[in-house]
Amino acid sequence: MSEPFPTEAAVRAGLDAQARPPGSLGRIEDLAVELALIQRTATPRADRIALLIFAGDHGLTQDGVSAYPAEVTPAMVATFLAGRAAANAFARAVGVETTVIDAGVAADLSHPALVDAKTGRGTKNAAREPAMTPDQARLALARGAEQATAALDRGADVLALGEMGIGSTASAALLMHRLAPAPLDDCVGVGTGHDAAGLAHKRAVLARAAGRSDATAPLEVLRQFGGYEIAMMAGAIHGAADRNAPVIVDGFICTAAALVAVRLRPATRRVCLFAHRSAEAGHGRMLQALDARPLLDLNLRLGEGTGALLAAPLVRAAALLSDVASLDDVMAGRL
């Protein structure tokens, strides 16, 4: 007979009965409760965490919204596959498996460890036309769900999301503008490192993009302004939710994907664990729109899943709280 789903009250009662003052582990106790409710068990697991890094290019870069050229995207994919990126270093430090997925890089890529899920060779320029077709948006969502399912089938207990794509903060800002919703100026930040002139130009391009379409329906907003990697991360959250698997959401761009996922399927919010508040302008407000409390605040703005990786040990620790002895067992010598 299967274990009944625990209630929040039951999980908290079990934590309060442990051999320590109730509430003494603060947010880690809250995280333990979240994991138990997501996995629908009083003994959650987070031994194996899998990072999925989705890579894609954005047509918006044609209008100079990034301080870096689009050629950086395939170069960084090669760096991930060589194990030499910051995400690789952090993954080794915390014992997390990493999979790199070509969601829509505007280059021909080939590597035995690269997952080819390319939906297109970069999106169209959203300042001038829809970023993708409706069929491409739906396909990217479906392929993201497939990647989540595959990682869970390989034995992952928890998924972590990361991304790579020059122009991605511009796309994420437009998604936030429509889906949070929030004024566009509150959503646009320096991204990879704009100076004042570059930021002003980025704002102007994104204002032109926003003025091109009045879309507010989530799927239409995604296809007008999104990126293939963002769509696939949203789909991955849907796939994880179908399996009651927690997802550690990284920074600004990953949170935009979570916003898309939740606006499309509100119930999927329950599986999202938000790793950190990034230094990108707008991230705090987007977290508020999702009623999310991030675990860390380290002034990060790299992406790649680096914040999610740094939060991974906290998730593992929270899951292991179910192994802590009760005060009754301690006092009775039943250890």
Q: Return d(Cα 139, Cα 32) in angstroms, integer.
A: 34
Q: Count how many residues are written for the chain.
A: 335
Tokens of 76: 């960084």
Nearest to 313 by CA among 144, 143, 126, 93: 93
Render pLDDT for 201-257 as a digit per residue (tens, 0 to 9). 999 999 999 999 999 999 999 999 999 999 999 999 999 999 999 999 999 999 999
Average pLDDT over residues 7-24: 92
Asked whether the beta carbons of 296 and 278 are under 8 A apart, the reply is: no
Residues that are catalytic: 304
Asked whether the beta carbons of 201 and 139 are under 8 A apart, the reply is: no
pLDDT tier at 188 (50, 70, 90 boundaries)? very high
Q: Where are the beta strands (DSSP E) in the chain?
A: 49-56, 97-104, 114-116, 158-164, 247-249, 272-274
pLDDT at 196 over 90: no
Q: How far is CA 190 from the centre of its chain?
A: 20
Asked whether the beta carbons of 164 and 303 are under 8 A apart, the reply is: yes
Average pLDDT over residues 46-62: 97
- Residue 234 belongs to what H/E stretch? helix 228-242
Q: From its phi and psi, is residue 134 left (phi > 0), alpha (psi between -120 and 50) or beta?
A: alpha
pTM confidence score: 0.96
Render pLDDT for 71-104 as a digit per residue (tens, 0 to 9). 999 999 999 999 999 999 999 999 999 999 999 9
Render pLDDT for 57-70 as a digit per residue (tens, 0 to 9). 999 999 989 878 89
